[in-house]
Amino acid sequence: MSEVSEVTREEWAVWRKFYAMRRQLDRALEDQLQRDAGISGPDYEILLALFESPQRRLRSRDLTARIGWEKSRISHQVTRMEARGLVERSECEDDLRGTWIELTTQGRRAVLGAMREHTTAIRGLFFDVLTPEELSSLQAVSERVLEAINPPACDEDS
């Protein structure tokens, strides 16, 4: 704690490698979705959430809770997707503030076309190249980094 923030050469190398991996992985998955279903990653997240819901529809509020975006991001994204015919907005009867967001036939077709290949891609590029030990190591690392970012309200004081 005395020597502030030294980071060794090897650590930087890992950091950069990790950085590059994240970006290229995202890129590869985006490309796959675009190829197989003509949709983007954000499109897919929304379509999948709707697809897995009761009437293939959700209120904006619940969509927000499900995928963890900001409400304005949802709204903008849905606007673009509605213009392309992937989803449809409709009024919510029991709560006049609410908005239903519903999968269209075309949206359903898109998500069906994307799912299998998407899963296959994730398996091929990620899970298939990890050993079980690496997988659990990665999980542990992820959890610990998340804890470091959001300290879990450690009331271990008085």
Partner DNA sequence: CATTATTGGTTGATGTGTCAACCATCAGAT
Partner DNA sequence: ATCTGATGGTTGACACATCAACCAATAATG
The smaller minimum CB distance to its own copies, of residues 15 and 109, is found at: 15
Q: Per CB under 7 A, which of residues 43..72 are in contact with DNA?
A: 43, 59-61, 64, 69-72
Nearest 5°: CA angle at 131, between 126 and 136?
Answer: 90
Dihedrals φ, ψ of 154, to 5°? Answer: -70, 95
| Binding positions for its own copies, 84-143, rule CB under 8 A | 116, 119-120, 122-130, 133-143
Minimum CB distance to DNA smaller for 89 or for 108: 89
Shortest Å distance, C-beta 23 to DNA: 7
Closer residue to DNA, CB minimum distance, 29 or 92:
92
Residue 27, SS3 per DSSP: helix
Q: Are 107 and 85 in contact (CB under 8 A)?
A: yes
Helices (H), the chain: 9-37, 41-51, 60-67, 71-83, 105-125, 132-149
Count of residues of this chain found to bind DNA when the rule CB under 7 A is applied: 28
Q: From 127, 52, 58, select the one nearest 87 (Cα to Cα).
A: 58
Place of tokens 């809770």: 65
User: Which of 2, 9, 25, 93 touches its own copies by CB under 8 A?
Assistant: 25
* In the complex, least distance from residue 130 CB atom to DNA, rounded to whole angstroms: 25
- CA-nearest of 42, 30, 53 to 117 is 30
Residues, the chain: 158
Q: What x/- string results for residues 14 through 43 when contact with DNA is judged by CB under 7 A?
A: -------------x------------xxxx
The answer to whether 98 contacts DNA (rule: CB under 7 A) is yes
Q: Which residues bind to its own copies, rule: CB under 8 A?
A: 4-7, 11, 13-15, 17-18, 20-22, 24-25, 28, 116, 119-120, 122-130, 133-150
